[in-house]
Homo-oligomer: A and B are copies of this chain.
Amino acid sequence: MKRSEIRQAQARALGYFEKAGIVLTDEEKGRIEIADFGLNDLESQGLEILTYVNTERCCAKELVMFANQACPEHMHPPVDGDPGKEETFRCRWGEVFLYVDGPPSETINTEPPSEWCRVRKEIHLKPGDQYTLKPGVKHWFKAGPEGAVVSEFSTRSRDEADIFTDPGVERLPEIEED
């Protein structure tokens, strides 16, 4: 991604934090992570992430999702004796549709952003709703038409270890200065 695109997406993400009533420090505002997963289509597949804390033992993040934006299908494998990341998503604002491995829902309420988003057990999260994912469960999620703000409470995040279904994903993409 270009630096200018990142700055623009950060500014948009701030608007969502404001709508959700979530206060950030100036330092935090400047380090919102813009993840396009190397797919170069941020509007369709991307996330805006503020990591509050990520120690050896636990992690908390706030995720902003633009309207209809999706996080591609992935899972968190065991790493170095750790059984893998366990995470709870709690919707704070807007709505999000979470898809997890398991018996598929009869119908789903969003269009998958790519052929690589395959699991079909749908969980609909509105503000105040949450869902806990055990390690190793494949999942993807997509915001509703207004976008969403989602808190993530988890064990340590090791983003570099995540396994994405789409072989084209690069979780930690390069930034091009412009």
Contacts and interface: CB of A to CB of B under 8 A. Distances in A.
A55 interface: yes
Given A23-B128, A92-B23, A153-B52, A86 B57 contact: yes
B25 A128 contact: yes
Interface in A104-143: 127-130, 132
Interface in A84-110: 86, 88, 90, 92-93
B155 A57 contact: yes
Given A21-B21, A92-B23, A58 B128 contact: no
A55 B57 CA distance: 13
A24 interface: yes
Contacts of A52: 88, 90, 130, 153
B25 A132 contact: no
A68 to B, nearest CB: 22
Interface in A21-43: 21-25, 28
A79 interface: no
Closest CB pairs A-B (n = 9): A21-B21, A60-B153, A23-B127, A23-B128, A25-B128, A53-B88, A58-B58, A57-B155, A24-B128
